[in-house]
Amino acid sequence: MGGLSLRHILFSIVLLAPLLAATNSSAQDRPQLKPAPSPTPKVEPKTEGQEPVKVFTEEVRLPVLATDQYGHYDPSLEVDDVLVLEDGQAQQIKSVRHIPGNVLLILDTGGDGTGLGGLSKKTSTTRQVANSLIARLPEGDRVAVLQSSDRPVLLQAWTDDVDQIAQVLKWKMYAGKRSRIFAAMTRAAQLLSEQPEGSRHVVLITDGVETPGGKVDLEEALDQVRAARATVHVISYTEYVRQKSDKQSSSVTAGMRPASSDPISANDPTMPAGTTRSPSFGVAIRFDPAMKKVRKAYEADTKKSERWLTDLAEETGGRIFLPKTSEEMVAQGGEVAREIGAEYVVTYRPTRPLASAEPGEYRSVEVASRRVGLYLRSRRGYVVPNNQ
């Protein structure tokens, strides 16, 4: 240590101590380096009173079918061809286009236990009609199948797999004693609410006759379907079953009587078996008052149902088919598919905002053609959605 005394050493330590303490303090206060966090999206603050932008809430999609004077579907509809009046006020059309359809089949297989002797609808015929329809739908359309018998049953959820639907129709359809067509219509409205507006279709294959005792009445069912804003197509059994009833309604028959019913040959031992003294001609009269009453009541019900089925189809821009034979019914299944494939969706932003509508408000709609020789068909109006 040389000439340094113990006093000098202690004095140096006292002087250096504050400097060492300051150095340690600076090292501890220095921020430690950490891995940089991954970037996160910047959330813009919401302006007070500002509503989220939802384009679809102020857009009306109107299904429109375009044909020429001969009923041929028009493949060239344009914006300038269409005039839309909402509550009497002209609207500015934004677009006219085809979009894939969402088609809900309601297959009425109930009522086979009515004791009508084969005069009511047939499950096998309904299956053929449904198969004819799905086989001719445009590629990409989606289908769901709802059966109406003792209760509404969803046989197939939404799918574009045609083969799968055909298997469901083959193996899952069944006949029931009661028809709950009104409950099936309300269930259909719920299923359609999941699909985009403008692409919604309902195909009813039914006689429209509800078995007494259901929990849903006609008016409630109609209100639900109208609110779903779908195009309703009807293939009705009403004319078909009345045609069959007319053929079976004759209670008087005439012709040669069988030998076994001839009282002379049956009781005259002098005549050879199976012969009579003169040709036997008879008139047979069949009278079943109970069955006649049932048939008359059913015919009256089909006349009533045909009226509301027609009104529903026309109000929603669809069409009712009234075939007289099973062959006609199957062919008209294909015709419904062609109508669905030919339908356009006309889009416009209503002059009177939807957000200002009262709950359940109904707006009337008229669609007219601006082009000579062009005919347009659409719904008569729509119920403003509740989510506005």
Query: Strand, helix or coil at 63?
Result: strand
Q: Please compute the mean of the pLDDT values over residues 11-39 and round it to a whole number.
A: 43
Report the alpha-carbon distance of residue 167 to residue 127 in Å, rounded: 11
pLDDT at 209: 93
Q: Please compute the mean of the pLDDT values over residues 257-285 and round it to a whole number.
A: 55
Mind listing the pLDDT tens digit for each residue in 107-143? 999 875 455 545 678 899 999 999 999 999 999 999 9
* Least confident residue range of 2-16, 25-39, 70-84, 268-282: 25-39
Query: Nearest to residue 379, comparing CAs of 214, 219, 197?
Result: 197
Q: Please compute the mean of the pLDDT values over residues 237-257 and round it to a whole number.
A: 67
Residue 231 has pLDDT above 90, yes or no: yes
Report the alpha-carbon distance of residue 309 to residue 175 in Å, rounded: 22
Query: Nearest to residue 62, comparing CAs of 386, 387, 377?
Result: 377
pLDDT at 58: 84
Query: Nearest to residue 159, comparing CAs of 195, 112, 211, 189?
Result: 195
Segments making up each domain of the chain, as ranges? 56-98+344-388, 100-247+300-342
Residue 257 has pLDDT above 60, yes or no: no
Residue 22 has pLDDT above 60, yes or no: no
The percentage of residues in the chain with a pLDDT greater than 70, rounded to a whole number, is 71
Query: Strand, helix or coil at 362?
Result: strand
Return the CA Rg of the chain.
Answer: 38
* Least confident residue range of 6-15, 305-314, 367-376: 6-15
Cβ atoms 194, 228 nearer than 8 A: no
Cβ atoms 61, 354 nearer than 8 A: no
- 32: confidence class by pLDDT, cuts 50, 70, 90: very low
pLDDT at 297: 86
Query: Nearest to residue 108, comparing CAs of 243, 192, 202, 29?
Result: 202
pLDDT at 286: 57
Residue 162 has pLDDT above 90, yes or no: yes
* HSE value, Cβ hemisphere, 13 Å, CA-based, for 171: 7
pLDDT at 177: 87
Superfamily per CATH, domain 100-247+300-342:
von Willebrand factor, type A domain (3.40.50.410)
Task: Find all residues with CB under 8 Å of 44, minimum gap 6, and list them.
Answer: none
CB 142: neighbour CB atoms within 10 A?
17
Average pLDDT, the chain: 81
Q: Please compute the mean of the pLDDT values over residues 51-80 and round it to a whole number.
A: 82
* Least confident residue range of 30-39, 128-137, 316-325, 364-373: 30-39
Report the alpha-carbon distance of residue 308 to residue 208 in Å, rounded: 9
Report the alpha-carbon distance of residue 198 to residue 99 in Å, rounded: 8
Query: What are phi and psi for residue 333, nearest 5 degrees?
Result: -60, -40
